[in-house]
Amino acid sequence: MKLKVTQIRSVIGRKEDQKRTIIALGLGKINRTRIHDDNPVIRGMVFKVAHLVKIEEIKEKKITKKPVVKKAIDKKDTPKKAAPKKTAVKKETTKKATVKKAIEKKPVAKKTTIKKVAPKKAAPKKVVPKKTAPKKVVPKKTTPKKVAPKKVAPKKTKSSEAKK
């Protein structure tokens, strides 16, 4: 049995492992279809991206080829094809040969190619900022914060216990 897997949704915004699974299945674009063997590996991959693909089960068809029977053909029985006219072929080849000889006799002028060099463009001038007098930075005066004294609980003494 085989599985026909068709991608029906995009992988944009999906997790990286789902994208790689789609590629491993041979998909990658919407409406792309691949046929795989039905085995646990493919089933696992399809299960992982089931929300992105459509699955169809295909039954394999048994194809029996008919044996090709070759008939024995006797050479005597087959009709022979008419031989092409050799004279016409010879005239064409002689014309081609004379044209080739005429081309070879003509002196060929060598073509010299001159490379055109583009003029160099001047480098753009750097813009230098104008120098101005540096501003004096005056540190802010900070006043020390007043901290309230900590309240200390009175120590328990024997005399305070006795009063109670």
Which CATH number characterizes residue 25's domain? 3.30.1390.20
Higher confidence at residue 30 or residue 108? Answer: 30
Range with the poorest average pLDDT among 37-46, 90-99, 106-115, 141-150? 90-99
Position 10 pLDDT exceeds 90: yes
Residue 49 lies in a domain: yes
Residue 81 lies in a domain: no
Give the whole-angstrom CA distance, residue 33 versus residue 3.
Answer: 10
How would residue 126 be classed by pLDDT, with cut points 50, 70 and 90? confident
Q: How many CA atoms lie within 13 Å of 107's alpha carbon, on the beta-carbon side?
A: 2
Residue 68 lies in a domain: no
Give the whole-angstrom CA distance, residue 149 versus residue 37.
Answer: 83
Residue 41: burial class (beta carbons within 10 Å; 0-12, 13-18, 19+): exposed
- Residue 150 is predicted with a pLDDT of 72
Which residue range is the domain that position 49 belongs to? 2-58
Residue 143 lies in a domain: no
Amino acid at 63: I
Q: How many domains does the chain have?
A: 1
Residue 40 lies in a domain: yes
Residue 38 lies in a domain: yes
The pLDDT tens digits of the residues spanning 16-67 come to 999 999 999 999 999 999 999 999 999 999 999 999 999 999 987 766 666 6
Residue 136 lies in a domain: no
Work out the average pLDDT over 71-99.
58
